[in-house]
Amino acid sequence: MEVFNYLLISLGIQIVLGTIAIVRKTDILTDISYGLTFLLLISLAFWSEIFDPVKMVLYILVALWALRIAGYLFIRILKTKRDKRFDGIRENPVKFMSFWLLQGVTVWVVLLPSIVLIDLDYSLSFNAISIIGIIFAFVGLIIEGIADMQKFRFKSLKENEGRWVDVGLWRFSRHPNYLGEIMVWVGAFIFVLPFINGISIFSIISPLFIYYLLTHVSGIPTLEKKYDERFKDNKEYQEYKKRTGRLLFKF
């Protein structure tokens, strides 16, 4: 299947689910659709190709990441009932659908290296670079999973209401979950790198895009702004920021 066809499929999924979310004014589909779209696209790509161990490893990585993030967000939204990020947006059909369409493009861009690899029509063999890349990606997957679990448990305790997370991995990084996610997609690109050439090299946009998105657009800036306003007079929080890296660990 042509690479751009996956973009059309991704957008189609978002339009269908987004329409349901707009009509029902619900955040449940919004929170779980991201991971599920990754899973659907990578499964469609993988199962349409001849079996290959290298492609299988990449499929397992993406599928595990997608299932984990979709499951985590589903459990979280069942607990919180709504996602505050969409307050003032879900009531506006145009703005809400714009978010869904952007999400469809995001999924496709982030998945580009994986789709390019799986669409190759020849046999592949592991090498040192690909092994380094997949190890890096799985370490990122573990970091992201642990960080999300620690945050969920912390936020679930009433005594922590209104506090910032500073336990476990969050003692060393202010956003270890985003660090882990970036590592997943950087590792996936490194894994794919030895097998691609020509115009396919432009799939490097995937790790660059996810890094920029999380560090300059919708991830870290949104949370940092919220916490900076909430705890601007809190000396403990200011000390936490000084001794803790935004992404990378400080020791």
pLDDT digits (tens, 9 = 90+) for 205-243: 999 999 999 999 988 998 999 899 999 889 999 999 989
Q: How many residues does the chain have?
A: 251
pLDDT at 121 over 70: yes
Alpha-carbon separation of residue 65 from 18, 36, 158, 165 (angstroms): 22, 10, 29, 23
The whole-number pLDDT of residue 161 equals: 85
Strands, E assignment, the chain: none
Which tokens is 36 given? 């599920």
Structure-block tokens of residue 29? 């589909």
CA dihedral 189, 187, 144, 33 (to 10 degrees): 20
Residue 209 CA to residue 28 CA, distance in Å, equals 26
For the segment 14-25, the average pLDDT, to the nearest whole number, is 92
Residue 250 has pLDDT above 70, yes or no: no
Q: What is the DSSP letter of 49?
A: S
What is the rounded (10 degree) CA torsion for 218, 224, 230, 233? -160
Band (pLDDT 50/70/90 cuts) for residue 83 is confident
Task: Write down the pLDDT at residue 215.
Answer: 94
- Report residue 249's pLDDT band, with 50, 70 and 90 as the boundaries: low
Residue 251: pLDDT above 60? no
Please answer whether residues 96 and 90 qualify as being in contact, where contact means their C-beta atoms are separated by less than 8 angstroms.
yes
Please choose, from the candidates 68, 50, 60, the residue with its C-alpha nearest in 3D space to the C-alpha of residue 188.
60
pLDDT given at position 86: 78
Of 206, 8, 1, 212, which is closest to residue 112 (Cα–Cα)? Answer: 206
122-171 pLDDT per residue, tens: 788 999 999 999 999 999 999 999 999 999 999 988 888 888 899 999 99
Return the percentage of the chain with pLDDT > 90, whole number. 63
Q: Who wins on pLDDT, 191 or 2?
A: 191
Supply the mean pLDDT for the chain: 91
Cβ neighbours of residue 38 under 8 Å, at least 6 residues apart? 62, 65, 66, 69, 107, 110, 111
Q: Is the pLDDT higher at 250 or at 232?
A: 232
Distance CA 67, CA 70 (A): 5
Q: Are 118 and 46 in contact (CB under 8 A)?
A: yes
pLDDT of residue 80 exceeding 80 = no
Q: What is the pLDDT of residue 107?
A: 97
Give 16's contacts (C-beta < 8 A, 6+ positions apart): none
Using alpha carbons only, how large is the chain's radius of gyration in Å? 19
Least confident of 43-47, 50-54, 102-106, 208-212: 50-54
